[in-house]
Amino acid sequence: MLDKLDALQQRASAALEALTDLAALEAWHAQYLSRRGELTQLLRSVGQLPPQERPGAGQRANELKTALEAAYERRQADLKRQARTQALTAERVDVTLPGRPPSLGRLHLSTQALRRIYAIFADMGFQVYRAPDVETDELNFELLNMPPHHPARDMWDTFYTTREGVLLRTHTSPGQIRAMRDYCPEPIRVILPGMCYRYEQVTARSEMMFHQVEGLAVGKHIAMTDLKGTMTEYAHRMFGEGRKMRFRSSHFPFTEPSVEVDMDCILCGGEGCRVCKYTGWLEIAGAGMVHPVVLRNGGYNPDVYSGFAFGMGVERPAMLSHSIDDIRYFFSNDVRFLEQFG
């Protein structure tokens, strides 16, 4: 009996040392110390021993039980402490690590250019006037002195909608009529920014959609010199002080007289290069004095009021400033392109 108890003690102690987690510890407890455990079975069998052996064996078995229970509790405490330490290490939050910055959006290059234009014209007293992208033929063409079959319409291949006489605006100029009818007979100083649409072949030089900024000033005694001064101030603020300006006569149905506004080439400074087609000049706007017919369509008497208007692109100047050689990048949504202009 005593040999059995010694053997049990050795096996139980070795097993207790070897186990490494709480589940194994519980299994160990069940094997040796539970009601059906090996030690309990031995204790029960003490009663079947010859009387002279019982006290020694009983005492030895009880000592062993106490010893194993104490060892069990120590081991349990050890394992719990170990488990907690492991959990703390594994789930540790390193407060010294720098935070992960959220990925920030940024303004589209066209929006950046538009905002610079707004700021420059705001300083000259121009308000932003919003007009719709979907227009009527009447506002897009007719009231701007382009009746049906007018040859100037050939300049634009147009997106017509399925509804008769409704189209995507080909320019921001219909906003001129809307602004005049809103403000008449007050004087006007507005810019009309927005997207324009033309059913054109898309190439590196031309997109089927692009931004324009239209400008309109109407009042008494507005003269060509006001237009020239405004355009010159804009070019100096946008492209650099001291830029040379040139006003070339031109034709638009809704202005009379009409001019093309040129600026000396920002790449070659007027020497002549590939971008300015070796002329030394870059066209930055079309402009002119508001045609009397258009003034009248807006509600103003052309014998009393006069005005000037201009229209300019937004993407083309941005292409020049940033040496971008393909306008299609602007709306192709390639983040690698957009991220370069934070």
Q: Write out the residues near Zn ion by the rule CB under 5 A.
A: 265, 267-268, 273, 276
> For Zn ion, which is the closer residue by CB, 1 or 265?
265
Instruction: Give the list of residues 6+ apart from residue 190 with CB closer than 8 angstroms, or none.
Output: 126, 127, 128, 129, 179, 215, 216
In the complex, what is the shortest distance from the CB of residue 96 to Zn ion, in angstroms, rounded to a whole number? Answer: 55
> For Zn ion, which is the closer residue by CB, 58 or 270?
270
Q: How far apart are CA 33 and CA 42, in angstroms?
A: 11
Structure tokens at 144: 């701007």
> For Zn ion, which is the closer residue by CB, 272 or 292?
272
In the complex, what is the shortest distance from the CB of residue 211 to Zn ion, in angstroms, rounded to a whole number? Answer: 23
In the complex, what is the shortest distance from the CB of residue 280 to Zn ion, in angstroms, rounded to a whole number? Answer: 6
In the complex, what is the shortest distance from the CB of residue 326 to Zn ion, in angstroms, rounded to a whole number? Answer: 19
**Closest by alpha carbon to 253, among 220, 227, 286?**
286
C-alpha pair distances (Å), 218 with each of 75, 179, 215, 292, 304:
94, 10, 10, 12, 11
In the complex, what is the shortest distance from the CB of residue 243 to Zn ion, in angstroms, rounded to a whole number? Answer: 13
> For Zn ion, which is the closer residue by CB, 71 or 273?
273
In the complex, what is the shortest distance from the CB of residue 235 to Zn ion, in angstroms, rounded to a whole number? Answer: 15
> For Zn ion, which is the closer residue by CB, 160 or 278?
278
> For Zn ion, which is the closer residue by CB, 137 or 262?
262
> For Zn ion, which is the closer residue by CB, 114 or 263?
263
In the complex, what is the shortest distance from the CB of residue 322 to Zn ion, in angstroms, rounded to a whole number? Answer: 16
In the complex, what is the shortest distance from the CB of residue 244 to Zn ion, in angstroms, rounded to a whole number? Answer: 12
> For Zn ion, which is the closer residue by CB, 276 or 285?
276
215-232 as b/e: b if 16+ CB within 10 A: bbbbeeebeeebbbebbb
Burial class (CB in 10 A: 0-12, 13-18, 19+), 168: buried
> For Zn ion, which is the closer residue by CB, 79 or 320?
320
Q: How far apart are CA 139 and CA 294, in angstroms?
A: 11
**Closest by alpha carbon to 155, among 295, 281, 250, 297?**
250
Q: How far apart are CA 197 and CA 251, in angstroms?
A: 21
Q: Cβ distance 327 to 319 under 8 Å?
A: yes
**Strands 134-136 and 281-290, bridge-based pairing:** unpaired
**Closest by alpha carbon to 247, among 234, 271, 263, 265?**
263
Place of tokens 């399925």: 162
In the complex, what is the shortest distance from the CB of residue 245 to Zn ion, in angstroms, rounded to a whole number? Answer: 15
Q: How far apart are CA 198 and CA 196, in angstroms?
A: 7
